[in-house]
Amino acid sequence: GENVEQHPSTLSVQEGDSAVIKCTYSDSASNYFPWYKQELGKRPQLIIDIRSNVGEKKDQRIAVTLNKTAKHFSLHITETQPEDSAVYFCAAVEYGNKLVFGAGTILRVKS
Amino acid sequence: DAGVIQSPRHEVTEMGQEVTLRCKPISGHNSLFWYRQTMMRGLELLIYFNNNVPIDDSGMPEDRFSAKMPNASFSTLKIQPSEPRDSAVYFCASSSRVELANYGYTFGSGTRLTVV
């Protein structure tokens, strides 16, 4: 089945700097890659996603890139703010509707 | 739509007791997922249903765990007997093929289970 690895496990950045989180997947048939943000005590919420027919997608300060050949995708957050502090999860669809999640990255934005 | 509704929000129970977690998916979603989240193991998929039928229960830790979906609007996750190592946050999520393509999963608020 699908296996998703996520790095780093923790990331500290200064407010205003950029943050990058990287994920790799194993199943070349996967075609959908969402990113979720989970604030402390809250549910995971979708923040951006990308499909295998697209190489990059942007939404204001966040962007996701996908390299199908290398089977990796990355989340980029620019001009980080304290409210970006959270746990971020990447995921890949295995088959049907099943998502496999990475282990998560704790992002701390220091002001 | 009120989103995915889980109950209870918090549950504290003694070891050996039966625990039942409940989930109401978003109307029209035909897939329902139960996840367990802990610091050590992250988000683990326990079981998921398509059209009320269990498709993959390979993540269910052991026979003490069981899940049902008697109809499209309700699912339960039962632990009997409960053990302290079952303490975690249990999330329910729902989706449909169309929703997944556009919005991913929608998670409920979770049930924080503490077994003492």
Per residue in A2-49, pLDDT (tens digit) is 899 999 999 999 999 999 999 999 988 888 899 999 999 999 999 999
Query: Could you tell me the two tokens for A106?
Result: 């704790």
Helix (H) or strand (E) holding B97: helix B97-103
In Å, what is the CA distance from B55 to each residue of A45, B47, B59, B71?
Answer: 24, 8, 11, 15
Q: Does the distance separating the beta carbons of A36 and B103 come in below 8 Å?
A: no
Average pLDDT of chain B, as a whole number: 92
Run of H or E including B100 = helix B97-103
Q: In sequence order, which residues have a C-beta less than 8 Å from that of residue B98 and are 6 or more positions away?
A: none
| Residues in chain A within 8 Å Cβ distance of B101 | 32, 51
Sheet holding A72-77, edge to edge: A4-7, A19-25, A72-77, A62-67, A56-59
A23 vs A72: CA distance, rounded Å: 6
pLDDT tens for B20-36 read 999 999 998 989 999 99
Question: Most B CBs within 10 Å: which of A97, A98, A99, as the mutation test of the B interface?
Answer: A97
Q: How far is B97 from chain A (nearest CA, A)?
A: 6
> Is residue B48 within 8 angstroms of chain A, CB to CB?
yes
When pLDDT is averaged across residues A90-101 and rounded to a whole number, the result is 83
pLDDT on residue B103:
64
How near does any CA of chain B get to the CA of A33, in Å? 9
Asked if the C-beta of B25 comes within 8 angstroms of chain A's C-beta atoms, the answer is no
Per mean pLDDT, which range of A87-96, B49-58, B74-83, B94-103 is the poorest? B94-103
The pLDDT of residue A93 is above 90: no
Interface contact A32-B101, CB threshold 8 A: yes
Q: Quick one: average pLDDT of B56-72? A: 93
Q: Is the pLDDT of residue B84 over 70?
A: yes
Q: Looking at the complex, report in whole angstroms how far the Cα of residue B80 sits from the nearest Cα belonging to chain A.
A: 25
The reported pLDDT for the residue numbered B1 is: 63
| pLDDT recorded at residue A57 | 94
Q: Give the pLDDT of residue A11.
A: 98
Q: What's chain A's average pLDDT?
A: 93
Beta-carbon contacts of residue A68 (< 8 Å; ≥ 6 apart): A28, A52
Confidence at residue B17, expressed as pLDDT on a 0 to 100 scale: 97
